[in-house]
Amino acid sequence: MAPLAPGGGTVAQVTVGHEEMRSKLKRSDIVAVLIGLCAIAFAWAFDTGGCGCSDADYLVQTLEVDASRRVRVTAASCWEISQPLCSEILDGNEVVSAPCHIGCIGDSTSTSDLHFALLMSNDHDIIALVEESSPDVVLMLHRFSTGENYPRDWRLPSGEYDARMDATLDCLRRSLRREGLVLSGQARGSVDRKVK
């Protein structure tokens, strides 16, 4: 009869149990490392835009603000379900606002079907991008004097920033005498800000 190990069982049984636990531990370590790598890859793709604004290869439309400033609307070169649309503001050749996601289009809409327009305050300090078919829904709002933009970078805290953007929209409403203007995130049926 084999000698008993502390806690019961034979030495052979304890040794086999220890080897099984070691192999399980190795498998769980590998799984944990793979999960960690997947999380890092997902975070990197989300932070850099993945197949979104960072891959905006297709120029949809350029709109002039004045002699040197313009808004460029682009569409992503890769997508799975709906094609992301982004806007950025340029002063000369310098980008003065990070590309921001303004909506997306599905398979039934072509980028050539989209027509955007700019709304500007009287002093041209505030601009808003709208689609011509929905002229009261503001897809992008920018104030040149502060550099603030809507939609905002998701990494910034909301609260006070959102209140300032609401105040900026109010200034534009008063300047244009258009009380019906709403930010796209506040428009009826705009859960994912689908354009068209």
- pLDDT tens column, 137-176: 999 999 999 888 888 655 566 677 778 888 899 999 999 9
Is residue 11 over pLDDT 80? no
Residues 40 and 16 in one domain: yes
Quick one: 27 exposed, middle or buried, by C-beta within 10 A (0-12, 13-18, 19+)? Answer: exposed
pLDDT single digits (tens) 88-98: 999 998 988 87
Residues 33 and 73 in one domain: no
Number of domains, the chain: 2
Task: Pick the range with the lowest mean pLDDT from 21-30, 95-104, 113-122, 176-185.
Answer: 21-30
The rounded distance, in Å, linking the Cα atoms of 142 and 164 is 11
User: Could you tell me what percent of the chain has a pLDDT over 90?
Assistant: 28
What is the overall mean pLDDT for the chain? 76
Residues 70 and 95 in one domain: yes
Residues 30 and 109 in one domain: no
Residues 71 and 119 in one domain: yes
Residues 156 and 89 in one domain: yes
Residues 78 and 140 in one domain: yes
User: Per residue in 39-75, is it b (16+ CB within 10 Å) or e — as a string?
Assistant: eeeeeeeeeebbebbebbeeebbebebeeebbbbbbb
Angle at 32 between CA 26 and CA 35, to 5 degrees: 145
pLDDT single digits (tens) 36-63: 766 665 555 444 444 456 555 788 899 9
pTM of structure: 0.66
Question: Can you tell me which residue has the tokens 């008063």?
Answer: 174
pLDDT single digits (tens) 18-32: 566 555 557 777 777
**Would 192 be classed as within a structural domain?**
no
Is residue 193 over pLDDT 80? no
**Would 195 be classed as within a structural domain?**
no
Residues 113 and 20 in one domain: no
Q: Residue 160's domain spans which residues?
A: 53-186
The rounded distance, in Å, linking the Cα atoms of 155 and 151 is 11
Q: What sign has the CA pseudo-torsion 57, 62, 65, 66?
A: positive
**Would 194 be classed as within a structural domain?**
no
